[in-house]
Amino acid sequence: MVLSMWKNLLQTTKEKIIQQRRMSLYSQAHGYEEELIKKKFQEFAGGSINLSKEDNGIGILTLNNPKLMNAFTGTMMLELQERVTELENWKEGKGLIIYGAGNTFCSGSDLNVVKAISNSQDGMNMCMFMQNTLTRLMRLPLISVALVQGKAIGGGAELTTACDFRLMTPGSEIRFVHKFMGLVPGWGGGARLMRIVGSGAALQLLSGAIRVDPERALRLGLSEETLSSSDEAAALEEARAWLSQHTEGPASVIRAAKEVVAVGRELPMEAALRTEKDIFGTLWGGPANLQALARRPKHK
Ligand SMILES: CC[C@@H](C(=O)O)C(=O)SCCNC(=O)CCNC(=O)[C@H](O)C(C)(C)COP(=O)(O)OP(=O)(O)OC[C@H]1O[C@@H](n2cnc3c(N)ncnc32)[C@H](O)[C@@H]1OP(=O)(O)O
């Protein structure tokens, strides 16, 4: 009886946490017309977003439109949303690597789409669509890495900031070119960049559209590490090895670690502490915890 009540409570807590994670930023109440912009995106087809889920709990998300330096067409924006939903439902997942096909990361929105939706209504809907998707990506209970090879430009630079970490290959660059387009970031990249590098550095990168090479990115704390290889397959292997240092262990624990940090990043202190308590409650007395107690490990 007590055990079943405890299980129910645990289930309710887990569902509450999952629900909070999936909550979109924008709804109809904000004037957001999702179905309208999705229909529009269908008109601009090309490229794809591919996901493979490996047995080690690492997912590999590939931006695949190398002809246009992996620029996001309309259908790629739709596919990104679908892949994020798939990742939200992947209970065994622990980590995620995002990278671009053809040895370059992503050159932002497809300029043909940008031109076709340059009216205010479509622009705002596109902005809210991408902010919703990238916020859900950032909140996934997976430790995420953007593997930056070649160029991450405009929306591509913004996408890197929706990941927990960035790894760069020699010769690669991250560049917020928005000012040259008469814009500021619209996919949430400005707000996220500010939290990663601080307000002064973020303002310099946006107002100067500065080319951030791996050395500068390391100095700014925008990148964790410069990989040794610029070869596509070898760099992906390096990124896998880097990420697996952080994803080794039971999925429940790794996912909870990410969740604790994700809420700490976004919520005010008291709300973050309460959520941390809820997440802690899902692990305390659970299988990984009991097995560790039985082993009595020493952490020398
Ligand atoms: C809110 C919108 C904003 C956002 O979402 O935040 C944006 O992202 S707006 C888009 C910002 N991006 C750009 O403006 C990129 C423009 N392109 C370039 O600056 C350069 O192409 C490059 C990305 C620096 C690559 O240069 P390089 O290596 O010399 O290759 P090419 O220039 O020859 O590119 C190959 C091919 O790809 C086409 N391309 C590249 N990016 C885009 C793009 N974003 N949209 C459409 N097409 C793109 C490029 O035009 C070339 O095609 P061809 O001209 O037919 O050869």
**Ligand 1, atom 39, residue with closest C-alpha:** 68
**Which of 69, 77, 80 gets mutated to test ligand 1 (max ligand atoms within 8 A of its CB)?**
69
pTM of the model: 0.94
Please tell me the predicted confidence (pLDDT) of residue 19: 61
**45 Cβ neighbours under 8 A, 6+ residues apart:** 73, 74, 75
What value, to the nearest 5°, has the Cα angle with vertex 98 and ends 92 and 104? 160
Q: Whose CA is nearest to atom 54 of ligand 1?
A: 68
Distance CA 99, CA 160 (A): 10
Ligand 1 center–CA 170 separation, angstroms: 21
CB-based pocket (< 6 A), ligand 1:
68-69, 71, 107-112, 114, 151, 153-155, 158, 177-178, 181, 183, 185-187
Q: Measuring from atom 4 of ligand 1, which residue has the nearest CA? A: 155
Q: What is the pLDDT along the chain (300 residues), one digit of tens a residue?
A: 556 665 666 666 666 666 655 678 999 989 999 999 999 999 999 999 999 999 999 999 999 999 999 999 999 999 999 999 999 999 999 999 999 999 999 999 999 999 999 999 999 999 999 999 999 999 999 999 999 999 999 999 999 999 999 999 999 999 999 999 999 999 999 999 999 999 999 999 999 999 999 999 999 999 999 999 999 999 999 999 999 999 999 999 999 999 999 999 999 999 999 999 999 999 999 999 999 999 999 999
What are the structural domains, with CATH classification, of the chain?
Answer: 1-25+250-300 (no CATH), 31-228 (3.90.226.10)
Q: In this predicted model, what pLDDT tens digit does every residue of 170-179 receive, in sequence order? A: 999 999 999 9
Please give the number of the atom of ligand 1 that sits closest to the Cα of 156.
8
